[in-house]
Structure 1
């Protein structure tokens, strides 16, 4: 349901609506007319406030979860608030320093990605998510070691110092010389290329008998390429931290919703597809509740922003997922700042 234009509301209705939304986002509980009249800054009687609340409910902006209870914003109400009324709270100097310090520590980019996800969780009190860049490292060297018991350890060293280890089965009848020959051949073809580029060249050479490898070495190289390709396809593309933050006292009152949300988070490919919307739009995206089909049952919100490399190209997406009562005014600039800080580390 689309939100009515803000201009359709009177100044009085806008102020009461804002106070209800801010009160609900701060406490997680519905806001009643007595609270608004007593200390909420509204110079009206409870009866007059109830009349305004009823009108806002009729417009689909507020809802009363129980009879005689206070009001809480609907998804349409939250969308109107976020798009037209929210006043973003800029991060403090302490928060900026904390983000830059935690992301600026020396180490591989994978550590920074993990840290960014944990950082978003800590700052938002919800779950933090980072979609890992879909890029392959440029390789420098590949070495092969016989582990015995029919297994081989392949060590891939990238030009940026990143190291990956893969283990696969040893082809029968392999000699030590074949292992050394295969390793030297792989390094010669892979150095300065991605694994995908090296695999394409190697496959063409082997298929046309231009590899100068014996049969055992060719079997070893072919098997290794198959394992590396499968491993890359199965590699997680999403880092999620802070799921425990979703289990606060208010959330546990609706345990089915929390269970649904945690189940959704287990479907990492689906969550990554959702984050891709922010990547394609190349801008901050806010999904509230059923606006996204994936989280429609759990009634959750997602705040996501792309992060870029030093050339300005979008290489990944990070964000926060939690209940619709997220503190949007505080979390939105935090996500934006974290995305910009992470982008400074991307080469």
Structure 2
């Protein structure tokens, strides 16, 4: 069913609709006409409110769950509320301070991003997520440990102190002495370069006859650099914090939905692809329930905002994942503030 645009609602219908949605988002329970009639700012009898709610249901904005006398907003109703009616509440000074606390310059950027995500998760009672900027590691040192005649373990130490291991297939005839020679060459000639820069320098030195390596060793160096480069470009760097927030007393009656959502969070590549859609946009993205195929089963919402680097280009995305019953008016500005704060940190 197609929902009506907000411009088609009368002032009375808009007021009733707003109160139903806000009450539902606050309590998580179906909202009845008597509940609405007791709210400040409404001067309608329960019977009149009931008629308006029926009209809103026919417009596809409200639903009548089971045998309950109350109604809840549909996903289309939530979308209309978020896009056309909701008034955001700016984060409080305490909330701003909590988000900013972990964003101190000087440490690894991943630590600051994780701290911001943890704070956002705690404040929103959702799972916090952040897509980390894709950055090629800068080589500091590479060593090789032979595992078998056909394979070796390559250990790469980055300039930021990170350590990563890869299993590399060996060209025929490569032994321990050749592995040591390759390691020494990389550390002497390619240290301090990104993977892409190292690949280009190796190609240039081979073309100029300056590589000081035999053809077998040259192949091993090229193969090792390519494995790291391809893997780094393919693997999303996604930080997720606060999954436990998704399991609360109100979720006890809907454990299957929570289980499905936790399973979805485990599939970080799928989540990262969703966030890439937010990264491609110019501002805040809000995905509600089945609007996104990934969350069609769990009925979850994602609020995500891009953050920018020193050159003004979008480098990552920060946000939250939670049930569709979110306090959007509070959480949306909070995510936006976090994105702005990260942009200042990256500048």
**Normalised by the shorter chain, which TM-score bucket?**
0.7 to 0.9
2:79 is aligned with 1:79: yes
Moved more, 252-261 or 224-233: 224-233
Corresponding residue for residue 50 of structure 2: 50
Corresponding residue for residue 132 of structure 2: 132
Cα distance in 2 for partners of 1:342, 1:153 equals: 34
Closer/same/farther in 2, CA of residues 218 and 101 from structure 1, 3 Å limit: same
Aligned pairs for 1:1-347 (under 5 A) are 1-39=1-39, 41-104=41-104, 106-139=106-139, 141-144=140-143, 154-158=155-159, 161-166=160-165, 168=167, 174-175=175-176, 178-179=178-179, 181-203=181-203, 205-206=205-206, 210-214=210-214, 217-218=217-218, 220-222=220-222, 224-229=224-229, 231-233=231-233, 235-346=235-346
Closer/same/farther in 2, CA of residues 193 and 63 from structure 1, 3 Å limit: same
- Tell me, which stretches of 5 or more residues in structure 2 are unaligned? none
Cα distance in 2 for partners of 1:42, 1:247 equals: 35
State the TM-score, normalizing by the size of structure 1.
0.88
Shift of 1:291: 1.3
Question: Aligned to 1:91, what secondary structure does the other structure show?
Answer: coil
Cα distance in 2 for partners of 1:255, 1:188 equals: 56
Closer/same/farther in 2, CA of residues 6 and 174 from structure 1, 3 Å limit: same
Shift of 1:164: 2.7
> Would the aligned equivalents of 2:136 and 2:232 in 1 still touch at CA under 8 Å?
no
Closer/same/farther in 2, CA of residues 311 and 173 from structure 1, 3 Å limit: closer
Shift of 1:170: 9.4
Shift of 1:17: 0.8
RMSD value over aligned CA atoms?
2.7
How many residue pairs were aligned? 343
Question: Aligned to 1:133, what secondary structure does the other structure show?
Answer: coil
Shift of 1:48: 1.4
- Tell me, which stretches of 5 or more residues in structure 1 are unaligned? none
Cα distance in 2 for partners of 1:40, 1:249 equals: 29
Shift of 1:264: 1.9
Shift of 1:88: 0.6
